[in-house]
Amino acid sequence: MKAIIVYQSAYGHAGQMAGKMKEGLEESGLEVTLSAAKKTDPKMLLDHDAIIFGSPVRMGSVGNEMKTFIDTLGGVWLESALQNRVGGVLVSGGGFNAGTEMTQPALYSTLMELGSVMVGFVNDMPGYGTGANHWGPYAQVGLEGKDGPSEDCLTACYEYGKRVAGVTKSIRG
C-alpha cells in the first residue's frame, strides 16, 4: 500500500514534519512518496491509498504553493477518481493562535471534497496537546521560526504516520 505526502515548505519546518510522518508510515509497512506541492501532478495521487497534505500557515491560512496545487485537482474531482482514499494533514505555524486551527480544516475540506476518509489524532497518542490537536500534528516554530518543530511535534508526526497507516490497511486492504 502507498501513501503520498504533498507539502509546501519554504524554511523546512513542514518538510521536517513530513519526514517524520514518512518514518511512521514506513514503520507500519507503507511505501511513501514525499512530493513538493509545486512539483506534484494531480494524477500522482491516483496511485496512492493515503493522501496527506502538509502546509505552513501563511497569513492565517493555507500556503500559496499548496493552494495552487489544490486548484489543479478539479479534473480528478470531476471524475470522482480519488474517493475512499485515506486523508490526513500536518501544519506548521509561527504560533498556535495565528491560523493553525484554520489551516488544518481548510486542508481537510479539499480532502473531503475528493471523497477521502479522514484520520484525526486521538487524545491517547504521544504528542497530543503539545505537538498535535484532534485535527493532526502541528508545529509552533515561533515568530521568527527559530524554535523549529518541537520534539513533541515530531513524535506526534511519527505516531500519526503509524495511525494513518493502520487505518489505510483496514480501509484499503
Ligand X SMILES: Cc1cc2nc3c(=O)[nH]c(=O)nc-3n(C[C@H](O)[C@H](O)[C@H](O)COP(=O)(O)O)c2cc1C
Q: Which residues bind ligand X (CB under 6 A)?
A: 9-15, 56-60, 92-95, 98-100, 139, 141, 145
Nearer to ligand X, 1 or 102 (CB): 102
142, 167, 169: which is closest to 153 by C-alpha?
142
Nearer to ligand X, 114 or 138 (CB): 138
Query: What is the spatial distance between Cα 60 and Cα 56, in angstroms, rounded to a whole number?
Result: 10
Min separation Cβ 144 and ligand X, Å:
8
Nearer to ligand X, 58 or 172 (CB): 58
Nearer to ligand X, 100 or 133 (CB): 100
16, 96, 4: which is closest to 41 by C-alpha?
4
**In whole angstroms, what separates CA 1 from the centre of its chain?**
17
Min separation Cβ 75 and ligand X, Å:
27
Residue 57: C-alpha distances to residues 41, 45, 92, 103, 162 (Å): 22, 23, 6, 6, 24
SS3 163: helix
Query: What is the spatial distance between Cα 21 and Cα 111, in angstroms, rounded to a whole number?
Result: 18
Query: What is the spatial distance between Cα 130 and Cα 111, in angstroms, rounded to a whole number?
Result: 25
Min separation Cβ 50 and ligand X, Å:
21
Min separation Cβ 94 and ligand X, Å:
3
Min separation Cβ 74 and ligand X, Å:
26
Nearer to ligand X, 24 or 93 (CB): 93
